[in-house]
Amino acid sequence: MDGALAYYTTGLRGAQRPEPWFSVASLLSDRGQHEAALVCARKALAADPGHPDALKNLGCVLYRMQRFAEARPLLEAAIAARPGDHSIAFNLGAACYALGELAESERWFIDAVCTAPSEVHHARALTQLAYPILASGDYRRGLLSYEWRFSEIGRTQVWELGIPEWQGEDLAGKHILVHHDQGTGDDIQFARFLPDLVERGAKISLAVPSDLMSLMRAAARGRWRTLDIEGDLPIADYHSPICSYLRHLELDLPACRRGYLESLRHEDRPLIEPPPNTRLTIGLVWAPRPLGEISARRVVPLGLLVELAAIPGVALYSLQVGAAARELEAGPGVLIRDLSRQLRDWRDTAAYMEELDLIVSVDSAPLHLAGAIGRPCVGLLPFVPCWRWGFNTDRSPWYPSMQLLRQAAPGDWSEPFAQLHQLVCNRVRDLEVHAALDDFSFPDLTEVS
């Protein structure tokens, strides 16, 4: 990349054409140097205001800066100048999705599918097409397109076993291996449908990451076998990725089921002993696994969540694990009790969640877990949400105990945090009212003679 940047930068000297400028803009944007990229992209467009690649380039730089409303008209101008361009249509679909314009997003991704120059581009466009369809609530059609995700993610070793993938065949007396294919949150979300396979008379083996085994084994209650996805796996009659098998169950999705996972706590004694005068205990998760640019947009500044400790009667507990948990060492640990060393696996996390009054989490596996065990929880969502949370609603069709708080502008957590602060204050006030009523005793109204 350094060599390419040097090459194109040399071409900028006295450049009157847009190509060197938008080439440098693309390279700078890929490096995360968005402000410099924006200047170069604007110089490219100034050199030729109607050039479709210059229009597309500026639109893409603005998109990566999360300036979606500015990106869209530039991309529309680019596609008007060059109809049928796969890349422009693809980026326009992404911009419309970011703005919550799902029908338009679907339209442009379909255009990208139809104009794909290769099988790789075709598969990628079909994968992206799934997101606006799923976000709109059309799960049957969206899940069909979502099957193309394997063109972008690595397949597990299950695919090397030579087992046919289940496509809805009769499972009576058959053995099906359902397995992890992406993230832990997906495993938790779609485990809800395993009992439907049991009802079809299937013998089920569930293969998941080792830290999820204890939770899934407890939830199974003997109805299926739980295995380590990295261990020895059986040769079953069929296999199915965990995000795929529900497509063949003929259910009314999302088939909302409250508390379908259980932690089955190891011990009878309380795991948490709140300080005196505590009314509300809150578990916090402020960062997902670090998986790149999109994941980084989900991170909530810990400093905002610490402010909840100033509300009288509130006790804060950290359910954060990984590198982000070390942020507590810089000072916030005085106000937030760190539970990370007690969280050996997801069953431990579920057990602690069950003793907390409220779970507050960014879009990550702990948020799915809180919803799956039926705990009251709040999801803090970035401006552009994952398809499963939809748009323009504060409720999740997948988890009835969950409330969603969304960014009103990209990167701005002020509004969802203000809503969270008010929600917590209201809940503490309600608990104080109930406690006062419980303590109230009516006077003895004996008749005076």
Q: What pLDDT is stored for residue 444 in this prediction?
A: 53
Say if CB 138 and CB 146 are below 8 A apart: no
Name the more confident of 93 and 329: 93
Tens-digit pLDDT profile for residues 32-52 = 999 999 999 999 999 999 999
Domain at 280-435, CATH class: alpha beta
Cα 328 from Cα 338, distance rounded (Å): 8
Say if CB 356 and CB 424 are below 8 A apart: no
Do domains 157-248 and 280-435 share one topology? The answer is yes
User: Does domain 157-248 correspond to CATH entry 3.40.50?
Assistant: yes
Structure tokens at 286: 């402020």
Degrees to nearest 5, angle at CA 340 with 335 and 346: 135
Average pLDDT over residues 226-252: 93
- C-alpha pair distances (Å), 312 with each of 166, 307, 309, 315: 54, 11, 8, 9
Cα 410 from Cα 295, distance rounded (Å): 13
pLDDT of 443 over the 80 cut:
no
Cα 345 from Cα 152, distance rounded (Å): 28
pTM over 0.85, yes/no: yes
Among 433, 432, 424, 438, residue whose Cα is nearest residue 281: 424
Cα 389 from Cα 374, distance rounded (Å): 17
- C-alpha pair distances (Å), 163 with each of 113, 142, 196, 343, 347: 30, 25, 21, 35, 30
Tens-digit pLDDT profile for residues 109-125 = 999 999 999 999 999 99
Cα 441 from Cα 449, distance rounded (Å): 24
Tens-digit pLDDT profile for residues 64-84 = 999 999 999 999 999 999 999
Tens-digit pLDDT profile for residues 433-442 = 877 766 655 4
- The domain spans of the chain are 2-150, 157-248, 280-435
Average pLDDT over residues 188-206: 95
Cα 217 from Cα 227, distance rounded (Å): 9
Estimate to the nearest angstrom the gap between the alpha carbon of 438 and the chain centroid: 40
E strand spans, 319-389? 336-338, 358-362, 377-381
Q: What pLDDT is stored for residue 6 in this prediction?
A: 54
Q: What pLDDT is stored for residue 433 in this prediction?
A: 84
Name the more confident of 122 and 295: 122
Residues 6+ apart with CB under 8 A from 347: 214, 215, 218, 263, 264, 266
Percent of the chain with pLDDT over 90: 79
Degrees to nearest 5, angle at CA 324 with 128 and 100: 30
- DSSP character for 363? S
Say if CB 42 and CB 61 are below 8 A apart: no
One-letter amino acid for residue 360 of the chain: V
For residues 24-62, one letter each, b for 16 or more C-beta atoms within 10 angstroms of the residue's C-beta and e for the rest, the string is bbbbbbeeeebeebbebbbbbbebbeebbbbbbbbbbbb
Tens-digit pLDDT profile for residues 320-329 = 999 999 999 9
β-bridge pairing 238-241 and 402-406: unpaired
**How is domain 2-150 classified at the CATH fold level?**
1.25.40
Tens-digit pLDDT profile for residues 160-187 = 889 999 999 999 999 999 999 888 999 9
Q: Which helix (H) or strand (E) holds 133?
A: helix 119-135
Say if CB 176 and CB 203 are below 8 A apart: yes
Among 81, 248, 275, 116, residue whose Cα is nearest residue 58: 81
